[in-house]
Structure 1
Amino acid sequence: MRMLMLKPLSWVLPLVLLAPTAPAVAAGTAPAATSWTLPGVGDVGASVESADGRLRLRVSSGGTEALSVADLGLVTSTTDLSKDLTLRSQNHRTLRTAYRMTTGKQRERTVLQEESRLTFSNPSGAQLALVVRVSDDGVAFRYELPGAATVQRETGGFELAPDATSWLQPYNPQHENEHAEATAATAPTGEFGHPALFRRGSTYTLLAESGLDGRYSGGRLTHTQGSGRYDVRLADAAVASTGVTSWRTMIVGDLATVTGSTLVDDLAEPARFTGTSWVQPGLSSWSWLAENSSPRDFERQKDYVDAAARNNLSYVLVDEGWSPVWLPELTRYARARGVEVLIWFHWTNLQTQAQRDEWLPKLVAWGVKGVKVDFMESDSQARYQWYDAILADTAKHRLMINFHGSTVPHGLARTWPHLMTMEGVRGEENGLNATRNTILPFTRNVIGSMDYTPTRFATASNPKPQTTNAHELALPVVYESGWTHIVSTPEELASQPEGERFLRQLPTAWDETRLLSGTPGVETVIARRDGARWFAGGIRSGTGGTVTVPLTFLGGTGRWLVEIVTENQGALSRSSAVRRAADRLDLLVADRGGFVLQACPYSPGLTTCDKPHREPPRTSVLVDVSADEVATGGTVELQGVFVARTGGSVRDLALAPELPAGWSVVAGKPVRKSLLREGESVSGRWTVKLNPAGVRGDVELVVAGTYTAPDGRRIHSADAARVFAEPLPPKGSTYVSDQPWTDETNGYGRPQQRDRSHGGDNEPATLSIAGKTFGKGVGSHAPSSLTTWLGGACSRFFAEVGVDDGTTTGEGSVTFVVLGDGRQLAGTPVIRAGETAHLLDVDVTGVKRLTLATTDGGNGKNSDHADWGTASLTCAP
């Protein structure tokens, strides 16, 4: 959205919608042809016309029609509201709004929209309101019904000039196909995802959706080759609508207008909460793409933390494979280095309210700041209802969130300010493609933050001929993402010192964004401002050459220090010059190359725009406890020692316990120290109590020192002592899946599943062995282990075990083992896929810890989906 100079509210006069092509008619009489010109904004205009009771919306830019939408309307389960429509009423209002984003191409947004509402009825008396909003960067419409209804389909079709150039992405639920260039008519028959880009002359049109949540269903575009028409198909055959659809959004104008548009956010609902100081965009180190196995490696993750600390990256993202055994320790290590931790989840592990209630408080207790949730891969209403639920829950726990394997943005980042980014793109993890890179700034990234996972530098052992190092360095500027996950290894980053230096300075949320030049599929040059500093990046897809960069975006008449990073035979190098806004740069880039620059106001003697970066002092906390096991109502003595080791003094230190929920300090107070110099230490001692509602199992009693580092940051340095808090024993007849687990490991992918199979999303969720299904039990993948506390209160364990029917190959083979307090109580021979369930009926009298384990059957773990059907306990009442 371009910034507008708005006139006072008294300037707004009542507007009458005109019908220039036909006289007014009595209500209830359908005219042969009537049109209504709607109030426009700037160069953008719109009109609605009715011909024989069918509606069409026309959209213009600069006085020329950009597209129209024919056959507007809905079909519900009870009526057809797409034909024989008669105007019943019309009204208009001017909307002026201002809001602030935590992420995005422009933090502060000022919006002017002209809204027209035309209400129609069909011969049966059913009513449909067509609501149209016109802004200076496009037009949007939605349908509103008098009440709830089951929507079966939308009938409106977007009609583009047949010869308009198109850049379309064949639809799939994860939105990860490549864009293909064609024309509106010659594009193949099929389904295409939002957003869809078209160009006729110098006017571009981007089709998108906005205001889409669990009250409606996601849409895609359908097309028949030879036609310029694109219809909407909903993901669900029947949508339980509250009576309001999502916004069909048409961004129109020149390429700069489309690229800079905020229309999708402008149409979305306002923020659900204020007080966003805990929401922090930033760069993140991410190891999975370069080293798939590294998220399972605690020591290797520490290397990524160290690289993040060295390079001023705010976060480290620990992807699939992390273990709850060591993740709290990694989080403490990272936070002491000034780095926060984000962790990956398969969405099915946060699918239910119970799962979220279990995991989210635990993450907060560990010090995790956000989650990446993956593999949703659906545009259905049910999936959007899940998005609504997890957004509300993570906001409640002050956890930021990234949706990966997801739909595309629909304005949710305005409604939920802690939503930092979404994938919905064929990103760098799908391979390098310079042509793709120069299309995405004008398509997917227009509508919201894009989790592309860019910037892997080439080395001698990892050459990347598809792009260059300068091209890769430019991507975090060319692309906007509240969290930007850098995929270079620590060693690859260190191989390019000027790349590291530039990344240390780079923000990920912006005050202003401008397209400097570009052609989809060929070249993109974008400038973004953060405060007084400008950053710009440029990329090309084909043959190298000179890229001209006008510096007019700097503005004013003063001088600017401009620092430029380019590339020579793979090595990034930096140069600088003092320039004015009237100047231009002519930069030579390589084939599929790029460049970046940083600019700041110049004053005599200034040699760099860099803000100083200083790593926090090296500190440590030592923790000791008086006992390693505690029962309900019991206490332990907790001691903590904070040591300032190297790297400078710490100020305003507060040393205190951070206890699990339901624990309390019954003696001792925080220790405070205004100044602690290198080599000095301070200690504290506390008595802590396990209350009846306290967290149990293997818990960590943390002592943390929070202090102010020399650069002004508040740093959290902590360590913990492990204590086993005896859980309350089970009572009566119960199921293992209903009990807390004190320990759990799994052989592949997601953790073990309660009352559902471990298989993939396309496999049946019901536990099933040789055709016999189980409503209760545990789904695992060998080798696996889970432990639950019996406390000597139970006498019998029963289960029917076998390989889950979701295993489609003959490879599945598993053995099952039951252990009590580490001693084997029962076991099975190797059980293979398709074999009937084996019965386990085990005496567990006196057992405190019950462990259920599986092995891979001796032929590897492929397809070893193991089910503990029923898995029940008989315990004292």
Structure 2
Amino acid sequence: MNTKKLLRPLLLILTLTFISCSNSEIKVESPDGNYTLVFNLNEKSEAIYHVDYKGTGIIEASKLGLGIDGLPTEGLKATLVETKMHNAIWKPPYGTKTEYPEKYSEALVKITTDSGEPLYNLRFRAYDEGIALRYEFPENKEKVTIEKELTEFSVKQGAIAYTTRVSQGVIEKTPVDEIKESMERPLLINLSDSLYVAIGEAAQINYSRMKLNSYGSHTLQADIEGEVTFDHPFVSPWRFVMAGKTAGEILENNYLVLNLNEPNKIADTSWMKPGKVIRDLTLTTEGGKAYIDFAVKHNIQYVIESAGWYGNEFTKEADASTVTVDPERSTGPLDMPEVIRYGKEQGVDIMVYVNRNQLEKQLDDILPLYRSWGIKGIKYGFVRTGDQYWTNWMHEAVRKAADHEMVLSIHDDYRPVGYSRTYPNLMTMEGIRGDEESPSNEQTLMTMFTRMIAGAGDNTVCYFAPRVTEKMGSHASQLAKTVCLYSPLLWLYWYDRPETATLDSGGAGGAKSIIKEVPELEFFDNVPTVWDDIKVLHSEVGELGTIARKSKNDWFIGTINGQSAKDVSLPLDFLDDDTAYIATVYFDDPSVDTETKVGIERLEVNSTSSIQRKIAGNNGMAIHITYKTDAK
């Protein structure tokens, strides 16, 4: 049956064909018609698929399958057993948009041996934002071990990928056919001057993490980090492919990763508060209060008592149920109940950091304890990820934190897989070459369009630390990062402390840089951490990036520039028509008589305006646009 003519007005095209020979195929087309996934069996009766985007092949003929002992990969039979159309809108408790569309066409294909013995199912989805596929074992009751995954993503010869072996590593441009090690996902690939593709995974909840390796060919293979074992009905993570004429188009559509996860399972989300966070480097009672006072003055919602508050985090002996300050970090004393009480009085919540050494042995004890103390959130540090066991442990730890009404940041090697849709208490995570690694503007511009496709990234923004101008571009670039790098829990002043905080201890890394009350701090004060809309205005990977985000009636814009000076034009056609606005522009200016050398200019603009600036190499710009009637 061909429903193409009947369902074209509904923007759904599914060619429904039972596969019984090598020239039969199943075609799944996205509701908007931009993506087409075609599945068939080749001459060896192996499972094969390819993907087109706007009529251009982006994934060439590629194999599917799983490396399971005794499971054949040839001589297969495929039967289309189910099709579905889905068209919905869902509203997150917070996000990059007020609401997300969720529109896709779906086909479920049963894979059997030629004699009809069931092996597994393949589920294909074509969204307006990309395509996705996964493996399913709907009736399994025996122990099954997936030794490796055989999923391929074949791209054209000469394609260039943006690669890194580890989540906090340097990102490099690498021809796909020169990749000979497993690379992090999502993997951004430049197919041509006007076509980019991203390959990644979503809903990797109880499965080994996927990386990608071409082994010197133009066909990328899904490398999973360790065997996957199950003895019950089971589904793999989704493997997705997204495309766009620019990397910015892909980033605007990255809510696909959320869409590929289950809906929110937390009935009451009223206790979840996104916001800005500052780290107490003193680990003292008076220092904590000084940070709280600074947070009140500068519209920061959280203070976190960071590593060292309960002892040396890297020892098994440290006890995260006690306040026992590490003498290598601070001279103390730290009266945690008093800091929490003072914060509550001032309207500032307290978070704490806990290393995996303590999480793994104390999690079930410390979660109710911290809740009784009045702590509102935790940063999980140095977590183990990658294989199936620790992946499952990590997501169980997210669920347990939700049970105790704790918001979370997961640090170090964990990258988002969209689980924040299902458990939105998981607000942010590292898995990023952030400011702790002193990335150049060029590296940040690669991060914006690679890692950030996966979701929120805790970049730990610095401002007054010497490394900013020495290694990381400019201060205006740092302002811009708060817009360009989405994080519902946004860490600011990572290595900095208020002038009123004591200096008798160095805290993390011996950091003692002081926050100066320079005028542009008003941008940090005003910038939100969650948004109603996003527009990517420039997306030259590694060269220039501009992102505009809306919050209520205001727009915030961040521009980060790479190594070469550029004349930058920012059309403001996304503003409301026939409305007057004031744009406050923050830019690098060596003539300004402050330590940070940031100039401020206020302009009257409207939807026909365009802001023009020459931005020097390794500089940036930040803009806050308000209704003229709201401007001070």
TM range (shorter): 0.7 to 0.9
Matching residue of 1:147:
139
Q: Distance in 2 between matches of 1:83 and 1:36?
A: 18
* CA distance 1:404–1:582, shift in 2 (3 Å): same
Higher relative contact order (CA 8 A, sep 6+): 2
Q: Which residue of 2 aligns with 1:245?
A: 236
Aligned residue number for residue 284 of structure 1: 277
Counterpart for residue 226 of structure 2: 236
Cα deviation, 1:607-662, whole Å, max 9, x if unaligned, reads: 43xxxxxxxxxxxxxxxxxxxxxxxxxxxxxxxxxxxxxxxxxxxxxxxxxxxxxx
* 8 A contact 1:493–1:499 mirrored in 2: no
Question: TM-score, normalising length from structure 2?
Answer: 0.86
Structure 1-normalised TM-score? 0.63
Does residue 336 of structure 1 match 2:370? no
What letter corresponds to residue 169 of structure 1 in structure 2? T
Provide the secondary structure at the position in 2 that maps to 1:553: coil
Change (3 A) 1:69 1:420: farther
| Closer/same/farther in 2, CA of residues 13 and 466 from structure 1, 3 Å limit | closer
The equivalent residue for 2:508 is none
Alignment of 1:544-563 (within 5 A): 544-563=565-584
Tell me the secondary structure at the aligned position of residue 269 of structure 1.
coil
Report matched runs for 1:601-750 at 5 Å.
601-603=627-629, 607-608=631-632
Partner of 2:317: none
Map residues 359-508 of structure 1 onto 2, 5 A cutoff: 359-457=366-464, 464-486=470-492, 487=494, 488-491=496-499, 494-495=515-516, 497-508=518-529
Q: Distance in 1 between matches of 2:303 and 2:51?
A: 45
1:428: Cα distance to partner?
A: 0.8
**Cα distance in 2 for residues equivalent to 1:371 and 1:526:** 29
Q: Which residue number in structure 2 is paired with residue 635 of structure 1?
A: none
User: Offset of 1:243 from its aligned partner?
Assistant: 2.6
Helix, strand or coil for the counterpart of 2:83?
strand
Question: Structure 2 matches for 1:152-191, cutoff 5 A?
Answer: 152-170=147-165, 172=166, 175-186=167-178, 188-191=179-182
2:328 corresponds to which residue? Answer: none
Pick one of 263, 285, 290 that aligns with 1:303.
Answer: 290
| Structure 1 segment 832-851 matched on structure 2, within 5 A | none
The structure 1 residue matched to 2:29, chosen from 35, 39, 59, is: 39
Q: For the residues of structure 2 that align with 1:444 and 1:371, how far apart are their CA atoms? A: 23
Task: Name the CA distance, whole Å, in 1 between partners of 2:470 and 2:285.
Answer: 28
Match of 1:83 among 74, 83, 88: 74
Cα distance in 2 between the residues matched to 1:505 and 1:389? 35
Distance change (3 Å), C-alpha of 1:389 and 1:32: closer
- Tell me whether 463-472 or 335-344 shows the greater mean CA deviation: 463-472
- Alpha-carbon distance between aligned partners in 1 of 2:185 and 2:139, rounded to the nearest angstrom: 28
| Cα drift, residue 91 of structure 1 | 2.6
Aligned residue for 1:221?
212
- What is the identity, as a one-letter code, of the residue corresponding to 1:306? D
**Distance (Å, rounded) in 2 between the aligned partners of 1:559 and 1:574:** 19
- Structure 1 residue 117 displacement after superposition: 1.3
Would you say 1:312 and 2:299 are equivalent positions? yes
Deviation at 1:11, TM superposition (A): 6.6
Instruction: Tell me how far 1:581 sits from its aligned partner.
Output: 1.1
CA contact (8 A) 2:12 2:85 kept: no
- In structure 1, the residue corresponding to 2:409 is in which secondary structure? strand
* AA aligned opposite 2:35: V
Residue identity matched to 1:167: Y
Deviation, 1:463, is 5.0
Q: Tell me the amino acid that sits aligned with residue 578 of structure 1.
A: E
Which one of 201, 204, 225 corresponds to residue 212 of structure 1?
204
Letter in 2 for 1:63: G
Looking at structure 2, the residues matched to 92 and 14 of structure 1 have their Cα atoms a distance apart, in angstroms, of 11
The alpha carbon displacement at 1:494 in A equals 4.2
When residues 32 and 607 of structure 1 are mapped into structure 2, their CA distance, relative to the original with a 3 A threshold, is closer
How far 1:479 moved relative to its partner?
Answer: 0.5
Going from structure 1 to structure 2, the CA distance change for 1:583 and 1:54 (only over 3 Å counts) comes to same
Compare the two structures and name the one with the higher helix fraction: 2
Q: Offset at 1:12?
A: 5.0
Structure 1 residue 474 displacement after superposition: 0.8
Is the Cα–Cα contact under 8 Å of residues 438 and 472 in structure 2 kept in the other structure? no
Look up the match of 2:563: 542
Q: Which amino acid aligns with 2:285?
A: F
Query: Is the 1:433–1:467 contact (alpha carbons within 8 Å) kept by the matching residues of 2?
Result: yes
Q: Does 1:583 align with 2:609?
A: yes
Q: How many residues matched?
A: 574
Any conservation in 2 of the 1:163–1:184 contact (CA below 8 Å)? yes
* Counterparts in 2 of 1:496 and 1:591: CA distance versus 1, 3 Å: farther
What is the Cα deviation at residue 230 of structure 1? 1.1
**Residue number among 539, 548, 573 corresponding to 1:527 in the alignment:** 548
CA distance in 1, matches of 2:11, 2:301: 49
Q: Percentage identity across aligned positions?
A: 23
CA displacement 1:511-566 (0-9 Å, x = unmatched): 11110112111111000011111111000121233221111121423222211111
Distance 1:55 1:253 in 2: 27
Name the SS of the counterpart of 1:439 in structure 2.
helix
Tell me, yes or no, if the aligned pair for 1:457 and 1:472 is still in contact at 8 Å.
no
- Larger Cα Rg: Structure 1 or Structure 2? 1
Deviation at 1:46, TM superposition (A): 1.6
Deviation (angstroms), 1:14: 8.9
**Pick from 566, 580, 598: which aligns with 2:624?**
598
Distance 2:61 2:389 in 1: 28
Question: Is the CA contact (8 Å cut-off) linking 2:13 and 2:28 kept in structure 1?
Answer: no
Counterparts of 2:450 and 2:13 in 1: how far apart (Å)?
Answer: 35
Distance 1:304 1:16, change over 3 A: closer
Amino acid aligned to 1:342: M
8 Å CA contact 2:13–2:30 kept in 1: the answer is no
Alpha-carbon contact 1:341-1:370 (below 8 Å) kept: yes
Per-residue CA shift, 1:467-517, capped at 9, x if unaligned? 111011111111100101012332467425233211111110111111011
Deviations 1:374-429 (A, max 9, x none): 11132111112212321221111111111102321111100101111011112111
- The amino acid across from 1:351 in the alignment is E
- 2:16–2:80 contact (8 Å) kept in structure 1: no
Q: For the residues of structure 1 that align with 2:66 and 2:468, how far apart are their CA atoms?
A: 54
Q: Which residue is 2:265 aligned to?
A: 272
- Does the C-alpha gap of structure 1 residues 15 and 526 become closer, same or farther in structure 2, counting only changes over 3 Å? closer
Tell me the equivalent position of 1:322: 309
Give, in whole Å, the separation in 1 of the partners of 2:274 and 2:405: 14
Asked if the contact 2:356/2:384 (under 8 Å) is kept, the reply is no
2: distance between equivalents of 1:414 and 1:238? Answer: 24
* Superposition deviation, residue 364 in structure 1: 1.2
CA distance in 1, matches of 2:460, 2:95: 16
Letter in structure 1 aligned against 2:221: D
* Structure 1 range deviating more: 296-305 or 316-325: 296-305
1:17 is aligned to 2:15: yes
- Pick closer, same or farther for the CA change 1:607–1:388 going to 2, 3 Å: closer
Question: CA 1:76–1:462 in 2, change beyond 3 Å: closer, same or farther?
Answer: closer
Q: Is the contact made by 2:228 and 2:388 (CA closer than 8 Å) also made in structure 1?
A: no
Match of 2:316 in 1: none
What letter matches 1:337 in structure 2? Q
Separation (CA, whole Å) in 1 of partners of 2:65 and 2:631: 61
Q: For 1:276 and 1:233, how far apart are their aligned partners in 2?
A: 36
